[in-house]
């Protein structure tokens, strides 16, 4: 009798690499990580004399990620903000893998990936690293971009940057589709037949009604927000329209709403928010449309008046870019990192003063900060003006709260925020209830860049935010 020995033994066993887990270090992990660093960078490689510890190891903001295998720390990396004030610029450093774990496939790569993910989740917009030249291939393979060279402790290094596309992704999700969806004008000309406000007003916050001093604006609220937070949705339906009119220097004179919901109770909650906001800004609700038995929805139309509207596309290269923003308030519950609530606690008099800032100042160009955030809206103003823009990150006014990361602040809806362009030093934007600061310049080069304290400009938004082009 013949015996099939392999068959009796069962299927072949596939040997997998030892498992490891990357997580944030605790106190004991931190000691083990520092021992690995000392062994590698002081004893083995001689890059540092005596110790590789530095000021970042004493900074309470520094984050250390470690890889554990079989309960032991087999590698680690640290991340920390650059400078005393965290403006969204971080570095990664001291990446190390234990000698006995260098055969465990993927430990170093996993630590690098985890560091990049942690940085982005922390609201970082620039993430740099200086790595040994022999490790640069690994970083390139993971998507990092070389930016220069350096020598550390007599060893050649390469400076690298992780490409963070958070702002571009937001712009793509909220504004990039506009030209394709609207297909303005029978001839493809956005200004044909007065479409989108007509010449000079294409892509603006509101549209001048031909032959009148009336400005019309219209905004819809995300259906999921109407369903989950109906009173806030109603408030915001008025708020965003008031901001649109304010950006054009117009005084609101009336509102119309179109609201839908599964039943009368849900619609009443939405309308409670609309009525409360309308009363706060002193605007009559003229009428609208209501529908029941359907998914939640809300859109609000606002009418305003001004004899001389301020254009969103009135800027020119070389002009200063300013931000006027209300930094009081806090994150709206349920919308952390996306919606800043600076308006609900303001008095009617304060809200109306803020709404009149553009009308008083009459800048060359103005746009209210929309769902595209501060930087994305700067790109819209620049596109409409036929320019680009550079934003000086360190100059952007931010709330004093420690829980506001720069990446969140530059991409959120801030409640009240106005971007304006004027000759350098000529901004007249002012309100006792908001902070105004110069945050950059309009440029001849298209797109929006972020300028950092070391003078480096990193790309944030490509040219043509909406595709509608110059106004």
Structure tokens given for 222: 């995300």
One DSSP character per residue, 31-67 reads HHHHHHHIIIIIIIS-SSSS----GGGT-TT-EEEEE
Q: H/E element holding 377?
A: helix 373-385
* Fold category of 170-204+311-471 in CATH: Phosphoribosyl-aminoimidazole Synthetase; Chain A, domain 2 (3.90.650)
Q: How far apart are CA 369 and CA 371, in angstroms?
A: 7
Percentage of the chain with pLDDT > 90? 85
* pTM strictly above 0.75: yes
Task: Give the Å distances, CA to CA, from 287 to 258, 295, 371.
Answer: 9, 21, 26
- Look at residue 427 and tell me whether its pLDDT is greater than 50: yes
β-bridge partners, 214: 305
- Confidence class for position 205, pLDDT limits 50, 70, 90: confident
pLDDT above 90 for 321: yes
Per residue in 387-409, pLDDT (tens digit) is 999 999 999 999 987 789 999 99
**Given this model, what pLDDT does residue 199 score?**
83
In the predicted structure, residue 118 carries a pLDDT above the cut 60: yes
**Per-residue pLDDT at 87 exceeds 90:** yes
pLDDT of residue 16: 54
- In this predicted structure, the answer to whether residue 288 has a pLDDT above a threshold of 80 is yes
Residue 1 confidence (pLDDT)? 34
Structure tokens at 417: 């925020």
The pLDDT of residue 19: 84
Q: Report pLDDT digits (tens) over 126-136.
A: 999 999 999 99
Nearest by Cα to 298 from 271, 278, 264: 271
- Of the candidates 324, 346, 354, 355, the one whose C-alpha atom is nearest the C-alpha of residue 253 is 355
Give the start-to-end residue ranges of the domains of the chain: 21-164, 170-204+311-471, 206-310
Handedness of CA 336, 93, 60, 81 (dihedral sign): negative
CATH number for the domain formed by residue range(s) 206-310: 3.30.1330.10
* Mean pLDDT across 437-441: 98
Task: Give 174-194 pLDDT, tens digit per residue.
Answer: 998 888 888 755 455 555 545
Give the mean pLDDT of the chain. 93
- pLDDT tops 50 at residue 160: yes
Query: 32-41, 94-103, 259-268, 428-437: which range is least confident on average?
Result: 94-103
Query: Which of 240, 361, 378 minimizes the C-alpha distance to 310?
Result: 361
Q: What is the pLDDT of residue 8?
A: 40
Residue with tokens 């009525």: 275
| Mean pLDDT for the stretch of residues 255-280 | 98
The superfamily CATH assigns to domain 21-164 is: Gcn5-related N-acetyltransferase (GNAT) (3.40.630.30)
Phi, psi torsion values for 159, nearest 5 degrees: -85, 135
Q: 3-33 pLDDT, tens per residue? A: 333 444 445 544 555 589 999 999 999 999 9
| b (16+ CB within 10 A) / e for 141-179 | eeebeeeeeeeeeeeebbbbbbebebbbebbbebbbebb
Position 7 scores a pLDDT of: 41
CA distance 282 to 264: 26
Q: What is the mean pLDDT of residues 364-392?
A: 98
Model pLDDT, residue 2: 36
Rounded to an integer, what distance in angstroms lies between the CA atom of residue 437 and that of residue 420?
10
CA 256 to chain centre: 31
Q: Averaged over 162-174, what is the pLDDT?
A: 97
Residues 162-167 have a mean pLDDT of: 98
pLDDT tens figures, 206-230: 999 999 999 999 999 999 999 999 9
């Amino acid at each position: 009798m013949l015996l099939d020995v392999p068959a009796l033994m069962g299927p072949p066993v596939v040997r997998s690499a030892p498992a490891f887990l990357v997580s944030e270090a605790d106190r004991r992990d931190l000691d083990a990580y520092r021992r690995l660093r000392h062994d590698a960078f002081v004893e083995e490689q001689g890059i540092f004399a005596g110790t590789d510890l530095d000021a970042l190891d004493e900074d309470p903001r520094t984050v250390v990620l470690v890889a554990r295998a079989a309960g032991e720390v087999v590698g680690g990396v640290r991340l920390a903000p650059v400078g005393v004030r965290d403006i969204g610029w971080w570095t990664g450093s001291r990446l190390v893998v234990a000698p006995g774990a260098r055969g465990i496939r993927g430990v170093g790569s996993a630590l690098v990936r985890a560091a990049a993910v942690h940085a982005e989740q922390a609201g970082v917009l620039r993430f740099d690293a200086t790595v040994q030249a022999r490790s640069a291939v690994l970083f390139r393979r993971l998507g990092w971009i070389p930016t220069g060279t350096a020598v550390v402790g007599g060893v050649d290094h390469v400076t690298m940057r992780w490409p963070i596309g958070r702002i571009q992704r937001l712009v793509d999700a909220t504004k990039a589709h506009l030209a394709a969806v609207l297909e303005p004008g029978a001839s493809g000309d956005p200004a044909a037949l007065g479409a989108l406000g007509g010449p000079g007003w294409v892509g603006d916050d509101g549209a001048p009604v031909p032959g009148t001093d009336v400005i019309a604006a219209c905004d819809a609220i995300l259906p999921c927000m109407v369903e989950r937070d109906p009173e806030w949705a109603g408030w915001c339906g008025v708020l965003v329209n008031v901001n649109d009119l304010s950006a054009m220097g117009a005084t609101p004179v009336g509102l119309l709403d179109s609201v839908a919901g599964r039943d009368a109770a849900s619609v009443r909650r939405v309308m409670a928010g609309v009525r409360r906001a309308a009363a706060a800004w002193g605007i009559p609700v003229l009428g609208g449309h209501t529908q029941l038995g359907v998914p939640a929805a809300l859109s609000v139309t606002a009418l305003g008046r001004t004899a001389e509207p301020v254009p969103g596309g009135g800027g020119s290269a070389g002009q200063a870019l300013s931000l006027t923003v209300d930094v009081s308030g806090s994150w709206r519950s349920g919308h952390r990192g996306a919606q800043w609530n600076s308006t609900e606690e303001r008095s009617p008099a304060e809200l109306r003063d803020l709404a009149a800032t553009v009308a008083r100042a009459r800048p060359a160009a103005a746009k209210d900060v929309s769902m595209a955030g501060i930087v994305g809206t700067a790109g819209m103003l620049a596109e409409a003006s036929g320019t680009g823009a550079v934003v000086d990150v360190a100059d952007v006014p931010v709330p004093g709260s420690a829980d506001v990361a720069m990446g969140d602040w530059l991409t959120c809806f801030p409640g009240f925020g106005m971007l304006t362009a004027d000759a350098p030093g000529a901004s007249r934007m002012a309100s006792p209830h908001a902070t105004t600061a110069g945050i950059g310049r309009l440029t001849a080069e298209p797109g929006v860049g972020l300028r950092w304290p070391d003078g480096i400009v990193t790309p944030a938004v490509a040219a043509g935010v909406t595709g509608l082009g110059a106004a």
